[in-house]
Amino acid sequence: MSPFHAASIGAAKARRQRLSTLLGDTPALIPAGAPCSRNFPSNVYSFRASSHFLYLIGHALPGAYALLEGERTRLFVQPPAEDDALWHGAVPSFAELAAQLDCELVALDQLPAALAKLDASSLLAPDHATQARQRELLGRAPDASTSERDARLAEAILSLRLVHDAAAIDELRLAGEGTVAAHIAGMHVTRPGIGEAAICAAMEMELRRRDMGTSYESIVTVHGEVLHNVSHAGVARAGDILLADVGAETPRGWAGDVTRCWPVSGTFEGGQRDAYQVVLNAQAAALAIAKPGTRYRDVHLAAARATTQGLLDLGVLTGDVDELVADGVHALLFPHGVGHLLGLDVHDMEDLGDRAGYAEGRARSEQFGLSYLRLDRDLEPGMAVTIEPGLYVVPAILEDETLRRVEAGRLNRAALDALNVRGIRIEDDILITETGHQVLTAGAPKSVAEVEATVGG
Amino acid sequence: MSPFHAASIGAAKARRQRLSTLLGDTPALIPAGAPCSRNFPSNVYSFRASSHFLYLIGHALPGAYALLEGERTRLFVQPPAEDDALWHGAVPSFAELAAQLDCELVALDQLPAALAKLDASSLLAPDHATQARQRELLGRAPDASTSERDARLAEAILSLRLVHDAAAIDELRLAGEGTVAAHIAGMHVTRPGIGEAAICAAMEMELRRRDMGTSYESIVTVHGEVLHNVSHAGVARAGDILLADVGAETPRGWAGDVTRCWPVSGTFEGGQRDAYQVVLNAQAAALAIAKPGTRYRDVHLAAARATTQGLLDLGVLTGDVDELVADGVHALLFPHGVGHLLGLDVHDMEDLGDRAGYAEGRARSEQFGLSYLRLDRDLEPGMAVTIEPGLYVVPAILEDETLRRVEAGRLNRAALDALNVRGIRIEDDILITETGHQVLTAGAPKSVAEVEATVGG
């Protein structure tokens, strides 16, 4: 059992009260989810509770279900087994748990009876076993999709989680601090010949010693052009740029998400330095407009335009900036979106689909590149988002017949090759404030000079 | 995709051939299992394939199914999606995979048709989603238990996996090396005031930089009396003994499993030293008879007797050794079994239940303590097992009314308190050889002098 964290538990209670004003008397069943087996039943992945549960209860309780009805919250929990105290230590009694979590505690076997009288709404747990049990408990078919009631619950929770409260912001700051420390540690240990795994280990150690985990599988690679490359089997050599996309997860489950790139030798070679500066300028252009009222797609497009202008200046692209961006030519080298919501999930509330990232009436573009943008809402104070432009030389894109037609002679391959880069991304976490934004991860070295001064030292 | 490892893939082919001589033409469906969602579908726990699949294929392929029929092996795999190359890099073609893995490759959507003509046996995947799909594919009811055919398959695979081949032994040695390095690193960083999380981080970093993971959730705690204590939130102080139960998992999935205990100050205090020596002597007594032909329960009882003798010498117990052991009095202080099978799983093949650990005709005792023994087979050359006696002061045991009756005045609480210990365990991994055994984890400091010389330095 993880330690009780009074601030998170108190914040959770306030969130439940806010939720009840949105839902009225509609009951809501929020499962914590259950540990998943790695290879045999008692050997499980380190348990991570559902984000909705963490948000509304403030504490991870494997296998528990929260049943919310107006201002009443009942937590249905499996009572301790006889030998739990031997294997897991002194387990809090129901009375102690109830006092700590400020909820009613009920034995799990009472849940079917409690639900029988209700037509509860629910959000699916992350794990398949709990999902199956959940459908059974709610009297739904095994393949039932979510109901309209569920959709209303999702909208209500979403509206709360979109705008972070003070306790959430404290956790995001903490995640940011751990994440920054990890990146500095990674830069410090880097020298030619070191394994990607050793750099990753040094970074994750900074998190583990803070009793934090990672909010997603760490990407630490000299092949940054493979966007979700979670292999660490390679070796970093002089001339390579190392890309590290590593984020902390606080003990309460809140996420950091930062990417930095640094030269393994400690010095960017000429073309690499130019390419790095293009991405840095693109991030600056995006940050410049990241404030309340800005549509997030415009943040993306600002990064796209700056990237395009940078590549024009380097002779990698030819043509008109606006035309190149409108045609999506930049997306051949910057294929992903400029960022996403951040909160308890690294892609916050992605379990709810594009309903989370896209404002009502907005939908994903079908254009290559823009189609991968995970977020298109107007920014509001209290939202946390990432800003992460990048520049990649991806053979699968550049050799694709359809995509080559987009290019239409406006990409100079020789100039691109001369940059001598495979993949660069620069990513920070920001919190939208009343007047603009705060960078939650500002401590991670970022300018060419800062990065070069940190690598190997 | 993890790198191909020729030795593991070659060994897997030989294992399939041995399996086919046991099974004849009975077809067997072996799923790799699928990644499990942590909080939203695309954010998954680091994938760990089913051990049976790793054993028989030698490579982790998320979502794949192996269909074995005599000497023929077909691997059913989801063909790459169009944008896989963008997110995951160049994906090997079916022809390349077939060549690397020395199997036929077939698109996953062909699996239902292939199975329709067969009455295949199968072993369940670890994850619930694959289990559900597996029952569907095999035309079984959602809650179907395993069939007699499945039991025969389980017996056949079990008979192979019980006796490790050369490739398996190489992997177990590698896991042992990583595990030893982790424990030395943990001792090195320990000094009064350090967090359990920081010690755990230093240990796991030794594994991560070898591109290894952990074969189970690390136990690193000053409360070793909580047997499965995976919290790392505490602080190690002078006077505490730190218990670290941490094991490597090689990139191919093989497990190490070692426990060491060390004094946070660098020096065992008087009573602690005595208690530590009791456990060390118990391990020596168990190791002394760990050789072919010995019944594993006798290894357990040898540790129990040595523990009892040690506690008699210290005045913690009074009475006759054999009587105390027969009555299970030692189990009040050494409640768990002395070890278990080791292989691809840290409790090898525990997914198959006691069929794996218990020889035919043998079953678990109902006596407290012995009831937790996971293994009771006659040792054979090629088996790998752990040897892990311990000594614990567990309030939940010592205050239990029923268990106090076992004691019957033969436990001197004051003498026990004077030892000033909460939990001590000493665990190594051994391979049974033709003439005795080899300790795979011998490099981890173990004697009082070795441990004291390593802590803090």
Contacts of B367 in chain A (CB under 8 A): none
Is the per-residue pLDDT at B146 higher than 90?
A: no
* CA proximity to A196, closest of A186, A188, A182, A208: A186
What does the pLDDT read at residue B147?
A: 82
* CA proximity to A106, closest of A79, A81, A82: A79
- Dump pLDDT digits (tens) for B266-324: 999 999 999 999 999 999 999 999 999 999 999 999 999 999 999 999 999 999 999 99
Is the per-residue pLDDT at B404 higher than 90?
A: no
Helices (H) and strands (E) in chain B — how many of each? 17, 17
- Dump pLDDT digits (tens) for B76-104: 999 988 778 778 887 888 999 999 999 99
Whether A208 and chain B come into contact, CB under 8 Å, resolves to yes
- B138-165 burial string, b = 16+ CB within 10 Å, else e? beeeeeeebeebbeebbebbbebbbebe
Helices (H) and strands (E) in chain A — how many of each? 17, 17
Q: For the domain made up of B6-162, give the CATH fold.
A: Creatine Amidinohydrolase; Chain A, domain 1 (3.40.350)
Residues in contact with A81: Cβ distance below 8 Å, sequence separation at least 6, in sequence order:
none
* CA proximity to A455, closest of A180, A258, A190: A190
What are the structural domain ranges in chain B?
Answer: 6-162, 166-454
For A214, the closest chain B residue by CA position comes to B45
ipTM of the complex: 0.94
The answer to whether B87 contacts A197, with C-beta atoms less than 8 Å apart, is no
What are the two backbone dihedrals, phi and then psi, of residue A198, each rounded to the nearest 5 degrees? -70, -35
Please tell me the pTM assigned to this model.
0.96
For B82, the closest chain A residue by CA position comes to A396
Whether B451 and chain A come into contact, CB under 8 Å, resolves to no
Place of tokens 């999380």: B197
What does the pLDDT read at residue A1?
A: 63
Residues in A 294-353 with any Cβ partner in B closer than 8 A? 335, 344-347, 349-351
* CA proximity to B60, closest of B18, B96, B31, B98: B31
Residues in contact with A262: Cβ distance below 8 Å, sequence separation at least 6, in sequence order:
A186, A187, A190, A241, A242, A244, A445, A451, A452, A454, A455
Residues in B 113-152 with any Cβ partner in A closer than 8 A? 126-129, 132, 142
**Distance between CA atoms of residues A380 and B363, nearest Å:** 64
Q: B166-454 belongs to which CATH class? A: alpha beta
Please, are residues B228 and A87 in contact by the beta-carbon 8 Å criterion? yes
**Distance between CA atoms of residues B175 and B253, nearest Å:** 9
Is the per-residue pLDDT at B406 higher than 70?
A: yes
Q: How many CB atoms lie within 10 A of CB A399?
A: 10
The answer to whether B216 contacts A43, with C-beta atoms less than 8 Å apart, is yes
Residues in A 214-243 with any Cβ partner in B closer than 8 A? 215-217, 223, 225-233
The answer to whether B50 contacts A38, with C-beta atoms less than 8 Å apart, is no
**Distance between CA atoms of residues A182 and B208, nearest Å:** 14
Residues in A 176-195 with any Cβ partner in B closer than 8 A? 195
Whether B399 and chain A come into contact, CB under 8 Å, resolves to no
Place of tokens 């039943």: A41
What are the two backbone dihedrals, phi and then psi, of residue B214, each rounded to the nearest 5 degrees? -105, 145
Mean pLDDT by 10 residues, chain A (457 residues): 90 97 94 97 96 98 96 94 79 92 96 93 96 94 81 96 98 98 98 96 95 96 92 95 98 98 97 98 98 98 98 98 97 97 98 95 94 96 98 92 91 97 98 98 98 95
